[in-house]
Amino acid sequence: MSLTLWRGEQLLGELVRRPARHVDAERRAGESPSFSGFLIRATNAAPLEGVWQVKPRLPGFGLLQHALKPDIVAERYRNTGSSNSDAPVERAWPVAADAPPAVPVEHQLTIRDASGRVYLPQSIAIRESRFEPKQFAGVLREAPAEALVNGVLWTIHAVFMSEIDSPEQPGTWATD
């Protein structure tokens, strides 16, 4: 099944599922359905930044967004003194004084299937990873070649509330 990533009504690209690993082959009982994969950017897609959007399971709260710094693979093991955990909630849009912050519909990340059906995950993270040329061969053992552009690879992880909310039938995410 062909899946695409959208921000509002703007196509960001095609999603390619990460290869299944032995430990991922069966979802644990009660675990929410999820998708983990790579983004092949659409031609002329808008600029992209790493974000994590999450819908709290509390009444009255809208979709929240947190910034995710790029993962610069060559610097992973250097102590830089900062991490993604200190990234604040983004508020790049006006919020009414009496309303909790929420991501406007035109900025919400959604997944669509080939028929155009829209899926809004409970949680979705899109992250930029930067690689040096000497690391490309290792990256391409798992990621499709089209996903690695100028040393940049975008990954996505989405979690859905239930099987009904996910883009495929139960059990097919990790077995294809």
Q: What is the reported pTM?
A: 0.77
Percent helix, percent strand, percent coil in the chain, to nearest 5: 15, 30, 55
Question: Alpha carbon 105 to chain centroid distance?
Answer: 16
Mean pLDDT of 106-133: 92
**pLDDT > 70? residue 97:** no
Most confidently modeled range among 24-28, 60-64, 71-75: 71-75
Q: Compute the distance between CA of residue 116 and CA of residue 95 in angstroms, rounded to an integer.
A: 30
Average pLDDT over residues 112-126: 91
- From residue 167, give the alpha-carbon distance in Å to each of 21, 104, 106, 118, 128: 20, 22, 21, 8, 23
- Cα angle 21, 121, 39 (rounded to 5 degrees) comes to 55
Mean per-residue pLDDT over the chain, rounded: 79
Structure tokens at 97: 């004084």
DSSP string, 41-98: EPTTPPP---EEEE--SSTT---EEEE---EEGGGTTS--S--GGGPPBP--S---TT
